Structure 1
Amino acid sequence: MDQGNTAFLLIMAALVLLMTPGLAFFYGGLVKAKSVISMMMMSFGAIGLIGVLWVLYGYAIAFPGAEGLVAPWSIDWSAIGLTSLLETPEDAAYPPLAFVAFQATFAIITVALISGAIADRAKFGAWMIFAAIWATIVYFPVASWVFNFGLADDGSFAYGGWTTFGMQEAFGVGVIDFAGGTAVHINAGAAALALALVLGKRVGFSKGAHVPHNPPFVLLGAGLLWFGWFGFNAGSELAADGTAALAWVNTLAAPAAALLAWLLVEKIKDGKPTSVGAASGAVAGLVAITPACASLTPGWAIVLGLIAGAVCALAIDLKFKFGFDDSLDVVGIHLVGGLIGTLYLGFFANNTGLIYSGDPTQLLVQAIAAFSVLAYSFVLAFIIGTVIQKTMGFRVTNEDEIAGVDTVLHGEDAYKLETV
């Protein structure tokens, strides 16, 4: 066993886990002061819930071995509860449980991302039920489509999900998604759009009506996300090598460029660059570089960041044009940013992108994977959310929303102002 790679993977897993508390601060600063506990609790609830489900059966669904597509007969039943993974093979680069731990943190952050679309108006219990069902029938299978693959000694696919091995068999190239542009960001963004439609608009929804209550929280959260994202992207190499180093550098370059592009768009549109814009731009760049971090030169990573920052800065206004209340711009940043990063590879991926090969096949494969995940997640999230809304109720009452969901749902206030 390679102790260096084992240490690397465990440290990367810890960094990715930190992203979810970082997301809690990022989202918590963006909502109303009377909703910040509720908002942060949805992220922490995801840590508890998905952490347990991943150990019980999530890993067994997402990584069934060489079966490819997820179905009841392709679940690795021996991995239920992870008891079959306690022993480390002599020739393994790291213990199986190290990989289990790393992938667990991906499942947690993906579910937590969705919550930003339903800020200020969702019941905590309903959210937890949605998260459990969506993770089980959407995230775990999609993770298998994208991340469950094995390579032969010559580097070719030996087995995998349909986006990797299946695409390779059909088109000669598999989808490039190094760290989760499809499985994490498009997946979560599509589900967020579905829930925003199911729960409807907040009271008084209009442009400028809901402003972030704590921009320093937003910046803190963005900083923690960026820090953890190095584990997200570089760690996906599963080894401390040159590819991990390239992913690390691109995870610096693309978000930095996206931050600048977002601020420039804000300056042109609104006359002032904002701290929330800087944080949002960095996150947009992080989203876009996620699938592409190991397949671009740093120069092309900067170009990707500039595109993602500018386009996502404009995309967040789509909710006002089309009339859906995506409270914290999960659609505009994660869905749009994930699509940009995934499709960009069709043009600029090293060796196989259109500008290098003159062949549009990689772009076709990227598009098929991206829009398939989008459709699958959106449809199932809409169905799950609608059933919950029609039965136990997903949204709080207008009166409770106005009063503040922190007190109503959790019996707590984020800020206590006492007079002596």
Structure 2
Amino acid sequence: MPSPSHPSHPSPGPTPGARIFADHAATAPLRPEAARAIEETGRLLNPAGQYASGRHAQRVLEDAREHVAELLGADRAEVIFTASGTESDNLAVQGLAYGAKKTRGPAARRIHSAVTEHPAVVETVDWLCGGVPGGGTPQFDHVALPVDGSGRVQVGESGAFDAARDALVTCMWANNETGNLQPVHALVQRATDGGVPFHVDAVQVVGHLPVDFHALGAATLAASAHKFGGPKSMGILLARRDAALVSPLRGGGQERGVRSGTANPQGAAATAAALAAAVAEIEVQHRRLGEYRDRVLSVARTIPGAQVYTDPDGGALAGHAHMAFPGAEGDSLIMLLDVAGVDASTGSACSAGVNRASHVLTGMGVPVEVARGALRLTFGTATTAQDVDRLCSLLPGVVDQARAAGMAF
């Protein structure tokens, strides 16, 4: 039975026609340019082979590396291909931390990061600061960067960074749940002034906002191909030539010795092709998706008790709409949308099918019982105006039904 707040809203029924994909922040559809690149390079073999086919595969790999460098304001030698954005974050954070130990000594042990980072960074920092496997004294200490109610790092309250004590600073460019942008340029400048390397998790930004690695001044930057329509299991790590990286990976020394393993020329070519297509349409997509986001958020704000966490006024990705509805479980919201033909997410971690409050929202000071009612709708190349019309018509009724179902205990 619907809640009294919206008695006139009908129960959501199955969506006529195609499903609506509203989870672009998780992954984007493969772009046709990337698919063509995979098809054209499908017969490539070992790029390390000292024979004609190997040399051809190596040329394809290096052409892709140069193309990515041009698109992201980097040098070719600074582009390292990895298997994911998660791997890129791990290589950068671990590499810079142990690089600081090697070049600046044991006193450089503090790692600065916010509690609202992606798990790829949060868990890596926790591991580094929690002691070596099997016990032992931790080699690093975590210092939490202060965040405000929108999850943005407060630069003025972060203090000065000091190369004698600080191993590295890391901050994501845009939050994967809220889409809110961080003041990375100001933070990078503060770290640079103190002689401390800075890592940027730009997984949500690359292909969606202009990126100039050299102008940014960070030591390292992580990206993920499938977030901008490239193939899955392909990541990018930009690493300055002078970055002191001690890689946790050992092997054949490929990718500047940072990411050993046989390179994937097909994946690299598809990544470069997808990135080129994404960069070419950044302005158009930003305007189009921003209009869709604003429409959805305006509907969300009409629902009693709704809390909206995406903050376009303070700077946010155009395709993100993150909100919470107290009294509704996030699991209920996404299951009801699923039945209605919409693919969406809570934006929070799930374990054994049990929805847990988002660490991003709780890190922003949101009460757990409110954070459990989170819903993330994210838009991209596959989103149409008709999709948004349908979402706007569904949302109030879905919230009513989720609230009527109550909270799990």
TM-score by length of structure 1 reads: 0.26
Larger Rg: 2
Which structure has more helix as a fraction of its residues? 1
What TM-score do the two structures reach when normalised by structure 2? Answer: 0.26
Structure with the higher fraction of residues in strand conformation: 2
